[in-house]
Amino acid sequence: MRLLMFCLFSIVFSHWTDDLDLPRELLEYTVRNSPDLRKKCEEDPHCPIQRDVLSNGRCWGHEEGCPFERSYSANRISCTLPVQKGRIQSREVQQEHFFDQADWGYLRGHGRSERHQICESSDQEGTRLVCSDHLAHCTAENIFFDFSNLNARHSKRYRDDVIQPGQVGGNCGKFNKQLLDAHTDRQSYLQSWGAEFKHFESSPSFVVDDDNCDVIFERPTIVIKLDASINMFHHFCVFINLYASQHINGSIFDTDVDILWWDTFSNGFVDPYFKPAWAAFSRHTPVELTSLDGKRVCFRKALLPLLARQRYGMYYNMPMTDGCTGSGLMQAFSHHMLHRLRVLQRGPLVDKIRVTILSRSTMHRRIINEKELFSRLQSMEGVEARIVDYNGKVPFLDQLEQTHNSDIFIGMHGSGLTHLLFLPDWAAIFEIYNCEDESCYYDLARLRGVRYKTWSNMSLLTRHGEGRHPHNGTPHAKFTDYSFDVDEFERIVGQLISHVKRHPQFVEERRKMRRKSSGTKQEL
Ligand SMILES: *[C@@H]1O[C@H](CO)[C@@H](O)[C@H](O)[C@H]1NC(C)=O
Ligand SMILES: *[C@@H]1O[C@H](CO)[C@@H](O)[C@H](O)[C@H]1NC(C)=O
């Protein structure tokens, strides 16, 4: 009976803000910056967000009229470059520069959130198409794509000729063809929607109905062109750009949306390793493009997001100011994903630092003396050491769980290090050797705002075999294995432990843990 009462109560008291399924801080920003939700909260005496929080003026940072000081990132970005009078600017200028390059400001820059009205309509059933510069990001209503030209069975990856003239369109009250043509200058597959929308046509007889459409997507739909699915670094570039695009769209991150995986490869996208992560974006199973072969497909509302291989894209090929770290956009992305995928933080531990070594069961870039390094870790005071191997047999969400419950994460250069996105805010990453690819994970760690170290003393590292590129045979540091001096290893890990222990968030969380554990002891 008590249980039943409890259940009833929790149904009655489940609040609409819980249904948004966002972590506390992101919930506040989302409600405050969505006109509809904000009004709803103001009128709701049970809204859990206090009035003063609702009206404190803090914004994400990509919106027009949102200055850096009031943005989500204002007290998150940290820059340590020496401030030189007259030359490199003040700390604030450095922070804002980083903000424009690698944070919410990036979404404003280069017209990524610009809204060009290519197709407009005044009535509900009419078509609308609104895009940013170079058609990098678009939203559309009541449009169709005709996939007669796909020929899925023989189709290859990255095709930009799937859509032919007239195979995309709608019924515009006003179609601004010149504006469209002015923005079809970038047509590479994963840079923009240019190769598709350059063929857009408007027809006065078109409406979304069964006569005009073989398939109708009634729900808002994310239509997304995809890179190959196997590499975590590239895959998360897709997710970050999608998350950023939802922000540009002013989404409230509703998961009652469909996803169309636009992969032109005959076998589809499939996504064997990272598929569970899509649940953060949609509660429905994504639809493969190949399943729509030959069909005319209509969309009531479509979001066509920023794609993964733009010039100076987020985070692929992204230039970043030296000395600065901690993109608020990247931190929000990490917290958003972890919350929605129900990955829990069980730490920090009251008396130990959790150190994880990522092992590789691959052909190259193995740590030959991994066991020796591991036992050194185990012998270190106050360390809880663990070795993980994130091969295909470990479900992705379990991998995230292990990563997120590491204070220090150690691994060889490779896409597995993309896991650093999901470390706790106080964590540190040790790319034990970067294999001469110096900026990739260093920059990713700076974006995420976690401390980074790599091996620097080459006389204390042994290369096992020369390493040659498998295709052209040239010497290449990524195609061989390494072993590392154990004392030097311990010294670097020691530095990272000191960093973690001093991190204000770690100190705060550990204090809470101590209080909790002394509480339970007293109860006993
Ligand atoms: C984009 O924004 C519109 C309007 O706010 C919303 O209705 C739609 O669901 C959003 N699309 C996605 C895919 O989130
Ligand atoms: C590298 O390690 C060697 C051996 O311990 C030491 O003599 C040398 O000074 C180190 N080099 C640097 C740059 O720290």
Range of the domain at 477: 343-513
Cα dihedral 391, 397, 399, 402 in deg (nearest 10): -160
Q: Whose CA is nearest to atom 13 of ligand 2?
A: 457
pLDDT at position 282: 98
For residue 457, give the ligand 2 atom closest to its CA. Answer: 1
Ligand 2 contact via 84 beta carbon (within 6 Å): no
pLDDT: is 112 or 102 the higher one? 102
Residue 366 belongs to a domain: yes
Domain assignment present for residue 393? The answer is yes
Say if residue 355 is in the same domain as residue 431.
yes
Q: Are residues 387 and 485 in the same domain?
A: yes
Q: Is there a single domain that holds both residue 355 and residue 276?
A: no
- Residue nearest (by alpha carbon) to ligand 2 atom 11: 457
One domain, residues 125 and 254: yes
Hunting for tokens 């608020």 — which residue is that?
328
Judge whether 238 lies within some domain: yes
Residue 359: what residue type? S
| 270 Cα–ligand 1 center, Å | 25
- Is the pLDDT assigned to residue 7 strictly greater than 60? no
CA-CA-CA-CA torsion sign (27, 32, 35, 40): positive
> Is residue 88 scored above 80 in pLDDT?
no
Question: Do 237 and 364 lie in a common domain?
Answer: no
pLDDT of 360 reads 87
Centre of ligand 1 from the C-alpha of residue 387, in Å: 42
What's the predicted TM-score (pTM) here?
Answer: 0.94
Into how many domains does the chain fold? 2
Whether 367 and 256 map to the same domain: the answer is: no
User: Is 461 contained in some domain?
Assistant: yes
Query: Does residue 224's CB lie within 6 angstroms of at least one atom of ligand 1?
Result: no
Is residue 12 over pLDDT 80? no
Average pLDDT on 62-88 reads 84
Kindly report, residue by residue over 265-281, the tens digit of the pLDDT. 999 999 999 999 999 99
Q: Is 86 a domain residue?
A: no
Residue 177 lies in a domain: yes
Task: Give tens-digit pLDDT for 116-153.
Answer: 999 999 999 999 999 999 999 999 999 999 999 999 99
In a domain, 490, yes or no: yes
Average pLDDT, the chain: 92
Position 83 scores a pLDDT of 67
What local confidence, expressed as pLDDT, does residue 1 receive?
Answer: 43
Nearest atom (ligand 1) to Cα of 254: 14
CB-ligand 2 contact for 457 (6 Å cutoff): yes
User: What's the alpha-carbon Rg for the chain, to the nearest Å?
Assistant: 25
Whether the CB-CB separation of 97 and 78 falls below 8 Å is answered with no
CATH number of residue 373's parent domain: 3.40.50.720
Q: What is the pLDDT of residue 517?
A: 83
Q: Are 29 and 58 in contact (CB under 8 A)?
A: yes
The single-letter code of the amino acid at 426 is W
Nearest CA, atom 9, ligand 1 = 220
Residues 289 and 349 in one domain: no
Cα–Cα distance for residue pair 271/278, rounded to 1 Å: 10
Q: What is the per-residue pLDDT for 310?
A: 84
Q: Is the CB of 486 under 6 A from ligand 2?
A: no
| Atom of ligand 1 lying closest to residue 222 CA | 13
Q: Look at residue 169 and tell me if it is in a domain.
A: yes
Q: Are residues 223 and 297 in the same domain?
A: yes
H or E stretch including 18?
Answer: helix 16-19
Please check whether residues 273 and 375 belong to one and the same domain.
no
- The Å distance, Cα 488 to ligand 2 centre, comes to 10
Q: Which of 83-97, 100-114, 159-173, 352-366 has the highest mean pLDDT?
A: 159-173
Residues 6+ apart with CB under 8 A from 412: 358, 360, 365, 366, 367, 431, 432, 433, 435, 482
Same domain, 393 and 488: yes
